[in-house]
Structure 1
Amino acid sequence: MNRKSAGGAATRALLVLARGYLAFALRTTRWTITGAPDAVPALTQSPSRRTDGAIVAAWHETLLMLPAMCRWGHEENPDLKITVMISRNRDGRFINDLVAPWGIIGVEGSSDRGGKNKGGSRALRQACAILRDGAIFALTPDGPRGPARIAQRGTETLMRLTGKPLVPVATACLSLRLPTWDRLRLPLPFGRGYLLHGQPCETAITSDEVNERLDRLTLRADRAVSLGRMGIADIVWRVLGVMLMPALRGMMLWRLRRGKERHDRLAERRGRTAIARPEGEILWLHAASVGEANSILPLLGALAVRHPRRHFLVTTATLGGADIVAAYQASDDVAASRLIHQFIPYDVALWTKRFLDHWKPSALLLTDSELWPGLILACMRRAIPVAVLNGRLSARSWQRWQRLRSFAPRLFERLDFVAARGEEDARHFRALGVRDVSCHGDLKQSAPPPPVDQAELVRLRAMIGERPVFLAASTHPGEEEVILRAAAIARRRAPTLLTIIAPRHPVRGEAIAALAPTTLPRRSLQQEPDADCSVWIADTLGELGLFYRLSNCAFIGNSLFSPGGGHNPFEPVRLDVILASGPHCGNFRPAFAQLDGLVSTIHDEHELAGWIDAVLNEPLKWQARADAARAALVPDETVPPGLLDRIDALCG
């Protein structure tokens, strides 16, 4: 046998071994294939959904993972034709022969350089003909010689000549890096793999834009491979969730009896739903309660204008938050008709899986400090990006997370980005491992005022008449005693004063009423104060906007005693309410700092009584302070454009 024949036999033997290994590695890899729904018709070219040709762009380093995409494409459409441009050299031909069994047809050609004909012009003509025939043409924008991950102009030229959409594709799996110019990835068996397709580009884009889109998708796929692996803490969290399932079911029933759940929607807490998933992209936003739900409404409107075909899934944890979303759905806002509400499932792996299997969101936007390890891990393992809006992490919470950092799941590393409400929160998130943190201000300051039933407002104003009204809003245990004593002192100067106590948790209405020596009327029992009644318990959900509008001045609870935390002051500020708060407002430190000098600080019942008396005796002076507080906020329903751009990048 001569040397040439021996070399050919060795090459064929190597090719057989390489094919066998690649087939074994790719088949034993657990692939997750996901991305923009609009890309599926372009990638599969199914007869019922064909788009008559599409350009697929992927980095050269992922060539050996191309068969995974082709196998998926042929499962969707057995007649799918996929052609790929390969280098006009020995290595390119070897790779072409290697992937041929997966139905991939190679076209030889490289960019012409230095006056040398590399077959680029001929390959370009062939590519145009292939695309006009309605096939898939795949190329590596950085091939054949690099530099790696730097797109050449051929991709832009092909888009301009053919007018076909470009679909960026990123793949990542457990792999080795070979010592080649592109650090070619060699898949390893028995790992996890991700194939992500981005939003199709219908018009020609520049090489820089190709770089940006492919890099973003590749980073997302790489993060899913590295951060989607379960550690000991993740396993412990999962096992704990399974063990607690009976207790959680019991807790649901207990909450149902206390009026904190809805019987017809209890299954949503276990990830079930009776609502069909709409076609197309779904962006998932989670807003725990009333304040968070209210804060994302301007954002929903702005996103709906930008993306007329996108649907929005909003989850809440409380009935109050659900009521806010329901009121928005009934409005004529641009996003209302494309909005779906669900109660968020408890953080149990089975229930979360059921939820994600049904809804398949393109991204998850959490608000404030709603961070659930199991939910975030489940999204990471499906390559669903997760970000936090209005990120809030108080000093106390930050210190707690710091102590648990060695034992907790890789929660903060798995977040794609955090839009912190202030610099202090941003520092806390960075210290805990979030790689991408920025500040866009507090979304709650641009939220619309809390809603109100106008007919009920008119009725109650007529019933109360000229009586001055003091509201104690969102109070917590221990504060009501101080408020009742302060109200008694204030009535010595203002005998007709009506004090309304609206507890943060309305189920405490009965306990609060029992604090007084006489029977106090409760709103939840449809009892109303008569002319001789000085205190009214507003123990109902979703009516704080009503009581703020009835009051002359208001005190924000959860702030008198340590550790406290406070509550959002922006809602009453939007309504020009004269405000006071206790000294313990750490959870809303940036908000109160923004309103410095415009919200009075109260320490005990005597100060509170004196403040009520001062407001009632000099209303114009105090109203000017309330007006100044409102002027300190950004305009109503303002959304930072930079935040919208970050969300678009996350979903793309």
Structure 2
Amino acid sequence: MSTPLSLRAYMAGTRLLGPFTRLLLQARARRGKEERTRVGERRGEPSLARPRGRVAWLHGASVGETLSLLPVVERLTQRGLAVLVTSGTVTSARLLERRLPAGAFHQFAPLDVPAYVRRFLDHWQPDLVLIAESEIWPNMLVDVDRRGIPLVLVNARMSERSFRRWQRMGGMIEAVLGRFDLCLAQSPGDADRLARLGAPRVGVVGNLKFDVPPPPADPLRVSALSGLIAGRPCWIAASTHPGEDEIVAAVHRAIAPHFPGLLTIIAPRHPQRGDEIAAVAGDFELRAAQRSRGLEPDTSVDLYIADTMGELGLFYRIAPVVFVGKSLVGDGGQNPIEPAKLGAAILHGPHVQNFADVYAALDRDGGALAVPDAQQLANTLMRLLGDGMRMRKMARAAAATVDSFGGGVDRTMAAVEPYLMQMHLEER
């Protein structure tokens, strides 16, 4: 495959930047953006030995992408493959430590610097590479292709905005997408945009996120927390981003007089913002408690800040209404599938383009409601918290909708089966 000037320029530029990445990684580690003891992995330096036998490498950018890969990871380990899962964030690494099945292990993905990618591939020598969603790193894809390793883009998505941006890159995106043996798209729209950008073989298999089991929770903790807040009206604002915390606090202030004992739970997308949210609560004269400090939502607490890792499954199980953040302030929304699977009525703002198809289906089927601003969020919560029957009806509709979209894992595994069979034949 030819290498256009734009791709050659990118490869040359990243090669020159290599010596400066050490300073970048050190700065990120100081801010908690990298694991200090594992920074070498970002330079392609392994911290684990390669297992014997066949290895499949699966890569996702962060929490959402890697979670969507978990059912595929499970299927591959059941086929006897060792599975290397890479990601680029500390949060995803910590989550995967708890969720990966036996036979699978995590490393941080190398930065897209030619020497780092080469070092990574020399060590792991994967037999199959599956890249999730839109992680298009040119050096990585070019080197994998050069080695003749089967390369598949799974759960692929290409937003309209990303499509327009890539169109301005000339022949670079075609040269990069052309390295994939197969692209398995989430939707017909994603498939169309990928094909127009030059992906050679594109199929539609659905969104893997619909097949991910809901986040787990210790039943004893669920029971204890449910008992602690029994009788109190409760809702949760999940995966909030800066700017939404003030909205949540204002909404609590507005509706609390109508619901004595109201408890608002706020679970920020980035738990390290807990102190910041506590300060917001103080500005609104609300009594706040942070879970990261070992505090519980007793009757003196108005706003409970769930600033811990891996506990959304617990809070989704006790809150009948979930507002999903990054949708009133922010860009693109967060995944509503998990709370829908766990029996919650869903509320969301207008900015949900990253999950547009999911929200459209939930809204259409009555499992979710769009709230354009803080006032409408308050009004909608007033109606739902005062009408338990309607909340339960919404929750049932949300669960039915997400269940109807399942099957993406089966279709993905069927599509990659020829590559697995080829590996099996080569072993004989």
Corresponding residue number in structure 1 for 2:356: 589
Corresponding residue number in structure 1 for 2:426: none
Q: Is the 8 A contact 1:233 1:408 kept in 2?
A: no
What is the Cα deviation at residue 607 of structure 1? 1.1
Deviation digits for residues 188-239 of structure 1 (CA, Å, limit 9, x no counterpart): xxxxxxxxxxxxxxxxxxxxxxxxxxxxxxxxxxxxxx25xx4433332233
Corresponding residue number in structure 2 for 1:578: 345
Q: Is the 8 A contact 1:448 1:637 kept in 2?
A: no
State the AA in 2 paired with 1:574.
K
**In structure 2, distance between residues paired with 1:464 and 1:232:** 62
1:261 equivalent in alignment to 2:34: yes
**In structure 2, distance between residues paired with 1:405 and 1:476:** 34
Deviation digits for residues 99-136 of structure 1 (CA, Å, limit 9, x no counterpart): xxxxxxxxxxxxxxxxxxxxxxxxxxxxxxxxxxxxxx
1:295 equivalent in alignment to 2:60: no
**In structure 1, distance between residues paired with 2:172 and 2:95:** 37
Corresponding residue number in structure 1 for 2:249: 484
- What secondary structure is seen at the aligned counterpart in 1 of 2:335? coil
Corresponding residue number in structure 1 for 2:226: 461
**In structure 2, distance between residues paired with 1:241 and 1:368:** 23
**In structure 2, distance between residues paired with 1:391 and 1:376:** 15
**In structure 2, distance between residues paired with 1:612 and 1:505:** 24
Cα distance change, pair 405–500 in 1 and its aligned pair in 2 (3 A): farther
Cα distance change, pair 275–561 in 1 and its aligned pair in 2 (3 A): closer
**In structure 1, distance between residues paired with 2:37 and 2:222:** 30
1:604 equivalent in alignment to 2:373: yes
Corresponding residue number in structure 1 for 2:334: 567
State the AA in 2 paired with 1:472.
A
Per chain length, whose mean CA-contact separation is higher, i.e. which structure has more relative contact order (CA < 8 Å, sep 6+)? 2
User: What is the correspondence of 1:314-393 to structure 2 with a 5 Å cutoff?
Assistant: 314-329=85-100, 336-393=101-158
State the AA in 1 paired with 2:66.
A
Cα distance change, pair 441–455 in 1 and its aligned pair in 2 (3 A): same
1:557 equivalent in alignment to 2:325: yes
Structure 2: stretches of 5+ with no match in the other structure: 423-428
Cα distance change, pair 641–552 in 1 and its aligned pair in 2 (3 A): closer
1:398 equivalent in alignment to 2:163: yes
**In structure 2, distance between residues paired with 1:259 and 1:452:** 26
What is the Cα deviation at residue 401 of structure 1? 1.2
Corresponding residue number in structure 1 for 2:391: 622
Q: Is the 8 A contact 1:298 1:637 kept in 2?
A: no
Q: Is the 8 A contact 2:207 2:408 kept in 1?
A: no
Deviation digits for residues 79-115 of structure 1 (CA, Å, limit 9, x no counterpart): xxxxxxxxxxxxxxxxxxxxxxxxxxxxxxxxxxxxx
**In structure 2, distance between residues paired with 1:253 and 1:259:** 10
- What secondary structure is seen at the aligned counterpart in 2 of 1:276? coil
Q: Is the 8 A contact 1:286 1:314 kept in 2?
A: yes
User: What is the correspondence of 1:374-523 to structure 2 with a 5 Å cutoff?
Assistant: 374-406=139-171, 410-516=175-281, 517=283, 518=285, 520-523=288-291
**In structure 1, distance between residues paired with 2:33 and 2:48:** 22
What is the Cα deviation at residue 534 of structure 1? 0.9
**In structure 1, distance between residues paired with 2:305 and 2:271:** 9
State the AA in 1 paired with 2:293.
L
RMSD between aligned alpha carbons? 2.3
**In structure 1, distance between residues paired with 2:24 and 2:309:** 20
State how many pairs are aligned. Answer: 416
The runs of at least 4 consecutive aligned structure 1 residues that moved more than 6 Å come to none
Q: Is the 8 A contact 1:234 1:409 kept in 2?
A: no
Structure 1: stretches of 5+ with no match in the other structure: 1-225, 330-335
- What secondary structure is seen at the aligned counterpart in 2 of 1:550? coil
State the AA in 2 paired with 1:587.
N
State the AA in 2 paired with 1:321.
S
State the AA in 2 paired with 1:613.
M
Query: Considering only CA atoms, is the larger Rg found in Structure 1 or Structure 2?
Result: 1
Q: Is the 8 A contact 1:234 1:374 kept in 2?
A: no
State the AA in 2 paired with 1:295.
S
Deviation digits for residues 442-485 of structure 1 (CA, Å, limit 9, x no counterpart): 11011100122444333333333322221111112222222211
- What secondary structure is seen at the aligned counterpart in 2 of 1:441? coil
User: What is the correspondence of 1:80-479 to structure 2 with a 5 Å cutoff?
Assistant: 226-227=1-2, 230-245=3-18, 247-305=20-78, 307-308=79-80, 310-329=81-100, 336-406=101-171, 410-479=175-244
Cα distance change, pair 321–637 in 1 and its aligned pair in 2 (3 A): farther
What is the Cα deviation at residue 500 of structure 1? 1.5
Corresponding residue number in structure 1 for 2:425: none
Q: Is the 8 A contact 2:85 2:105 kept in 1?
A: yes
Cα distance change, pair 512–641 in 1 and its aligned pair in 2 (3 A): closer
- What secondary structure is seen at the aligned counterpart in 1 of 2:92? helix
Cα distance change, pair 499–247 in 1 and its aligned pair in 2 (3 A): farther
Cα distance change, pair 586–639 in 1 and its aligned pair in 2 (3 A): closer
Corresponding residue number in structure 2 for 1:38: none
Q: Is the 8 A contact 1:448 1:636 kept in 2?
A: no
- What secondary structure is seen at the aligned counterpart in 2 of 1:448? coil
Cα distance change, pair 435–598 in 1 and its aligned pair in 2 (3 A): same
Deviation digits for residues 546-602 of structure 1 (CA, Å, limit 9, x no counterpart): 22123121111111147x211111111110111111111111111122322321000
- What secondary structure is seen at the aligned counterpart in 2 of 1:487? helix
Deviation digits for residues 174-200 of structure 1 (CA, Å, limit 9, x no counterpart): xxxxxxxxxxxxxxxxxxxxxxxxxxx
What is the Cα deviation at residue 636 of structure 1? 10
**In structure 1, distance between residues paired with 2:57 and 2:195:** 24
